[in-house]
Amino acid sequence: MKSTRLLHRPRRCAYDDRRRPVMNHARKRIALLFTASNFYYRDVAAGVAAHVARHGLDWELIAADLSSCSIEQVAQWRIEGIIAEMDQPQAVHKLAAARACVVGVGSASADTPPGPFSMAGSDNLALVKKAYRYLVEQGAPHLAMYSLPPAHNRHWAVERERAFARLCAADGAVGPVYHGHEPSVLAWESQLEELVDWLVLLPKPAAVLAVNDARARHLLQACAAGPRALAGSISIVGIDNDPLVHTLARVPISSVMHATDAIGRAAASLLHQDMLGLGLGVRNILLPPSGMNGAAPREGAHGEAVARALHFIDLHATDGIKAEQVARHVGLSRSWLERQFQRELGHSLHDAIFRRRLDAAKAMLLHGHGDLAEVAARCGYSSVQYLYGVFARELGCTPRDFRQRGQPDALQNPCIDTQIS
């Protein structure tokens, strides 16, 4: 077992009748049990050390690699406190036998079942919400997620999927989720081909939220290996801000950053309170992300309110929505949102809904989907007559003429057909 300091004749912590540690004034030995290769936990450990220094705690921090040490041996250490990662269920179970105060570190959500220890970590819902809002601001109307296959130590991936589904549902959308396969060097080529096939089938332009940065890099590789037009039609954002992945990536990756320093400080504070025997019980402190890193938003990207409104309009313009419904969804007054639209886009909310509805009708006509009555109904027009009036006023032709112009054997300047069918 490797550790940064030799544990030489440590004093065992005394316990009272309720198994609460009775503190003395000797230096306290605190074990940090993390996977040393994981950047997240290294940064959390730095936050723990910062808290100890800031508050003058007489702690001796002992770092050990959880991936190589024996939990049974850890349980026999004569130490007063443990801060350990909670992403390994077997480790959590075995740490319960340790005669020391334990605080976990990881990620969770508000609806995560409470564990046996207090925990400080990232809020998975807040992480996904940050990435989701970023993609919405990029203007892509179609959102999807690239996740990982279910595994016993990937509760965080499942929670991020649920958060993505919840945000899509709030917008009235359905975001497809692709799990792919377990990362494998031997199957890398075949996995890349399958990912390309999935991306090609997504409606464009699309925005894909990767469950972590490794998956975001895989998406970038798929875009480079796929058809030439694929990369220009897909926006990508990751979660974790993994420095190794960012170093290896050939192009910058936009990524949500964990508040690792604050998480480390919170974990140390929880442990200190427990070691004082305050009897506060199990507490979870979930912290939002500290920000975004990577590529800047594209030129022409809008503010959050306008971006969310445009995303909602893209999804529901053909459902006959009104400007008031858009403002209500964004959570702002219509007058304020109208001013933002005029400032950023130069037109009104009603104009945005009108244009999106007309674009949908034009797309259906050009691709030959349905007769005129179906086009009118599916694009939010009350009647075929109303559809004819819109096309005559905006395009100077009938819907039938517009469809014919899109056919390769049609006349370049067909006559106006005034018959409604």
Residue pair 117/104 in contact by the 8 Å Cβ criterion: yes
pLDDT at 25: 54
pLDDT at 390: 92
For the record, the structure tokens of 129 come out as 């919400």
Please state the φ and ψ torsions of residue 409, each to the nearest 5 degrees.
-100, 10
Residue pair 164/195 in contact by the 8 Å Cβ criterion: no
d(CA 108, CA 326): 32
Domains of the chain: 28-122+261-290 (3.40.50.2300), 124-257 (3.40.50.2300), 302-406 (1.10.10.60)
pLDDT at 131: 94
pLDDT at 270: 96
DSSP letters along 119-161, please? EEEEEHHHHHHHHHHHHHHTT-SEEEEE-----TT-HHHHHHH
Q: Residue 305 is which amino acid?
A: A
d(CA 378, CA 357): 10
Instruction: Kindly give the confidence (pLDDT) of every residue in the chain, 421 residues in length, as a single tens digit, with 9 standing for 90 and above.
Output: 344 443 333 334 444 444 445 545 578 989 999 887 888 999 999 999 999 999 999 999 988 887 777 666 666 667 889 999 987 767 777 777 677 899 999 999 888 887 888 999 999 999 999 999 988 887 778 999 999 999 888 999 999 999 999 999 998 888 999 999 998 888 989 999 999 999 999 998 899 999 999 999 999 999 989 998 888 888 899 999 999 888 888 778 899 999 999 999 999 999 999 999 888 888 999 999 999 886 554 445 567 788 888 888 888 888 888 899 888 888 888 888 888 888 888 889 899 899 888 988 988 888 877 788 888 888 989 898 999 999 999 998 999 888 888 754 333 333 334 333 3
